[in-house]
Amino acid sequence: MADLQSIRREYSSSGLDIDNLDMDPIVQFKYWLNDAIKSEITEPTAMALSTVSAEGQPSSRVVLLKNLDEDGFTFFTNYESRKGAQIAANPFGSLLFFWPDLERQVRIEGKIFKTPRHESDEYFKTRPEGSKVGAWASPQSKRIPSREYLENLQHDYLQLSSVKVLEKPDHWGGYKLVPHLIEFWQGRENRLHDRFEYTRIGGAWEVYRLAP
């Protein structure tokens, strides 16, 4: 195994200053997300979602951002999964975007809500057929006896989808994380990174520079 302590990367991108930031962090995030998409990096919409159980046990996984508006960040999943159970028990969570090619990351904290049913229905209709089948076939986060068991479920739903349109299952849909804190991080030389934190105070955002 490599010596982990010897692995280092020097960040050399241009800096980030408050004069270069939009005072609305959602607008600022859209600028950075567009940069990530235009740079053609792998999975620019991938984000680490962290949730916490009722017992205080944290859990993280990568999901994909599927919608962004002035209210927050939307993703879709199985409501009966581990993340779904944790959100039901404790609705506070965080997101982390990391774009290493741009030497940037964005950390977001907030409260998670289910999106309206019609929004989940509309998005489900746009999914590839295989993804629709997967939403029905996979008992997400549950223990299963074998790969064959999962493939048999997939086969059954594929056959069903060949004779009828698969509507969105009740156990599947969207969540929106409504942020109260968003931090933008820009890598700089000698670990003197630029960090700016937006905090929602009432209905307005305040922004502060943080030490790296």
Residue 86 pLDDT level (bands cut at 50, 70, 90)? very high
Judge whether 17 and 194 are in contact, CB under 8 Å.
Answer: yes
Active site members? 191
Nearest to 41 by CA among 112, 117, 100: 100
Enumerate the domain spans of the chain. Answer: 11-128+170-210
18, 51, 81, 108 from 61: Cα distances, Å: 31, 9, 12, 15
Measured distance CA(78)–CA(84) in Å, rounded? 7
For residue 31, pLDDT beyond 90: yes
**Within 13 Å, how many C-alpha atoms sit on residue 8's CB side?**
7
Tell the CATH topology of 11-128+170-210.
Pnp Oxidase; Chain A (2.30.110)
Element (H, E) at 99: strand 92-99
What is the tens place of the pLDDT at every residue in 3-21?
A: 544 555 555 667 888 888 9
What would the mean pLDDT of 120-142 be, rounded to a whole number? 87
Higher pLDDT, 14 or 70: 70
What would the mean pLDDT of 54-59 be, rounded to a whole number? 94
Q: What is the pLDDT of residue 1?
A: 72
147-161 helix and 129-137 helix, angle to the nearest 10 degrees: 130
What would the mean pLDDT of 35-44 be, rounded to a whole number? 95
Measured distance CA(16)–CA(196) in Å, rounded? 9
Q: What is the pLDDT of residue 7?
A: 52
For residue 184, pLDDT beyond 60: yes
Q: What is the pLDDT of residue 92?
A: 97
